[in-house]
Amino acid sequence: MSVAHTSHTSRQTRPRLLFFYDPKDGHARRVEGYLAQVLQRRRNHDTFQIHRIDVRAHPDLAKRFRIDHSPVICVVNQRRVALRAERPKGIHQLEQLLTPWLQ
């Protein structure tokens, strides 16, 4: 899975939300639930292109984004990392971090 931009209309492309996780990590499963709740609550299902990246299956991407521990959420906007949240603690923290992109 690549995060490189594939569309020719980069200004109109939705930001990518990269969710780096370890499938054996309980905290990662909770954070995925928090993320789903934040997006559902604010009706932002289409705000991001969401990519779930298993760090065990894709160690190359984890290394590229310097992921030492999961879960980590990155927002990539116009080919730059605009947000990096390591091991978010809850729904409210995620909502605050993602506010610039939420409706």
Q: Which tens digits make up the pLDDT trace of 57-102?
A: 999 999 999 999 999 999 999 999 999 999 999 999 999 999 999 8
Residue 71: closest CA among 34, 97, 102, 32: 32
Domain boundaries, the chain: 13-101
Helix or strand holding residue 22 (H, E) = none
Q: Which tens digits make up the pLDDT trace of 23-59?
A: 999 999 999 999 999 988 868 778 899 999 999 999 9
What CATH number does the domain located at 13-101 have?
3.40.30.10
Residue 48: CB atoms within 10 Å: 21
For the segment 5-22, the average pLDDT, to the nearest whole number, is 72
Task: For the chain, state the CA radius of gyration.
Answer: 13
Residue 12: which pLDDT band, with cuts at 50, 70 and 90? low
